[in-house]
Copies of this chain bind each other. A is one copy, B any other.
């Protein structure tokens, strides 16, 4: 079987699109920039939601739901916030349609007095509730999360990575002290880091964003950054310390133990369906998607090789037993998600459907397997031996007792190790002048480039603008200043001044 795709030779963007399509993850919709998430893609999102929700609750947060429409005046309250988001919002201006001259259109009599913005994020509408809910220090900390859809108008949309509407969770918290809010910001960053690495098998670097990349209205923004197979960075999650900016704009105040009325310190943090794009670009290969078992909606797929013959019944019965036995086993703390594919299409077609979708283990059962008490399996992370597909035969009992659970754990770790080696091996250090930066990023856009880790003096204001412009000339951005920093630094590559930290620069999504 020929490989369907070629991650090395075609354009990476085309490869990505082909995987999203062939793995049945999502498709474009008639609404510009908005996607349809198909069952297999949504199944991955459900796995992400379930585990991340567990971790968010385990750190003391409760889920709520807030209106998706935000009055225009709310958005206008925090100056930087409006500046940052005003360019990309969907605006509701009418609440009724009317047939005028045979054409259905917004009813002029139903024009809203104040337009409503479809939430691009919910700091303002949630802050309004916080202002009502917080009275005393006893009401703090207030730890809230919401799973929701949000809209940011996109002129150049890409499935999962940049869509006008996307799904996410957004955490919002209010605290009595700055120290506690900063601690919360970093705690949730760590929840994201460990979730991405342990669960998505996607290694990341956690760090602080530079001033010019901060969330509009934030004091500090932190991110986790993952390296895709084309070397580009994907910002995979952010956590913001908002200081008292939003609290002051929205009057979120509490009486402290001494009775003094004080502004809260607030935070917000979020990850989105973008994570799915990250998983695809981290683990996909020339045959399509490879899913880490922890987030695969189906971890073991059983394909019966049916031939419209009497022995089909035995094969089916044997497969049903196998699936039932697999479901009694546990991996990652949950029953194995095993699936019997009984669709009425050819078994070879089924095999390749599951290969392209990235099911971690695919088992094929023919009449001889059923009669002999065997199974034949493929592991998706090591599908081929040269060009040939590798399938391994084993007694069913041995597979169940000694192999299945161990194999799923092995695939999970293997995918992580592969991506971790790529990340670690492609962060270049030791470049100390601009020429070195230019040389590293020279050549075609399609060539693999990793990231540079360089030292800088952390300039701000116009000095930072100059750095930003220089970097943009090479299509580069500062990804973040990793939380782990050395004790000493090279001279600042941009200003020649003494450095205060190391930062990562690279091309990004």
Binding site for B on A (CB under 8 A): 27, 29-31, 34-39, 42-43, 45-46, 62-72, 74-76, 82, 86-99, 104-106, 115-118, 125, 128-129, 132, 138, 144, 148-149, 151, 153, 164-165, 167, 343-345
Is A64 a contact of B86 with CB atoms below 8 Å? no
Closest to A37 in B: B65
Is A96 a contact of B87 with CB atoms below 8 Å? yes
CA distance A129 to B35 in the complex (A): 11
CA distance A128 to B30 in the complex (A): 8
State which of B29, B71, B117 has its C-beta within 8 Å of the C-beta of A30.
Answer: B71
| Contacts A86-B104, A91-B106 supplied; 5 other A-B pairs, CB < 8 Å | A30-B74, A37-B65, A42-B64, A42-B65, A93-B93
Given contacts A67-B36, A87-B96, A93-B91, contact A115 B105 (CB under 8 A): yes
Q: Closest approach, in angstroms, between the C-beta of A256 and any C-beta of chain B?
A: 14
Given contacts A36-B64, A65-B42, A138-B344, contact A93 B71 (CB under 8 A): no
Is B62 a contact of A39 with CB atoms below 8 Å? yes
Given the complex, which residues of B lie within 8 Å of A98, measured CB to CB?
Answer: 86
Given the complex, which residues of B lie within 8 Å of A118, measured CB to CB?
Answer: 92, 118
Closest to A343 in B: B138
Q: Closest approach, in angstroms, between the C-beta of A346 and any C-beta of chain B?
A: 11
Given the complex, which residues of B lie within 8 Å of A46, measured CB to CB?
Answer: 63
Given contacts A30-B74, A67-B29, A74-B30, contact A92 B92 (CB under 8 A): yes
Given contacts A42-B63, A65-B42, A344-B138, contact A95 B86 (CB under 8 A): no
State which of B69, B96, B138 has its C-beta within 8 Å of the C-beta of A88.
Answer: B96
The 7 closest A-B pairs by CB, nearest first: A34-B67, A39-B62, A37-B65, A91-B94, A95-B153, A86-B97, A31-B67
State which of B72, B99, B129 has its C-beta within 8 Å of the C-beta of A97.
Answer: B72
This chain's copy number in the assembly: 2
Given the complex, which residues of B lie within 8 Å of A144, measured CB to CB?
Answer: 39
State which of B29, B72, B344, B345 has its C-beta within 8 Å of the C-beta of A66.
Answer: B29
**What are 29 pairs between A and B in contact, CB < 8 Å?**
A29-B66, A30-B71, A30-B125, A31-B69, A31-B116, A31-B125, A36-B67, A36-B129, A37-B64, A37-B66, A38-B64, A39-B62, A39-B63, A39-B64, A45-B65, A72-B105, A75-B97, A76-B104, A82-B104, A86-B99, A87-B96, A88-B95, A91-B95, A93-B94, A96-B153, A97-B117, A106-B115, A138-B344, A149-B149
Given contacts A88-B95, A95-B90, A115-B106, contact A70 B344 (CB under 8 A): no
Given the complex, which residues of B lie within 8 Å of A42, measured CB to CB?
Answer: 62-65
Is B95 a contact of A29 with CB atoms below 8 Å? no
Given the complex, which residues of B lie within 8 Å of A70, measured CB to CB?
Answer: 31
Is A165 a contact of B115 with CB atoms below 8 Å? no
State which of B27, B62, B149 has its C-beta within 8 Å of the C-beta of A68.
Answer: B149
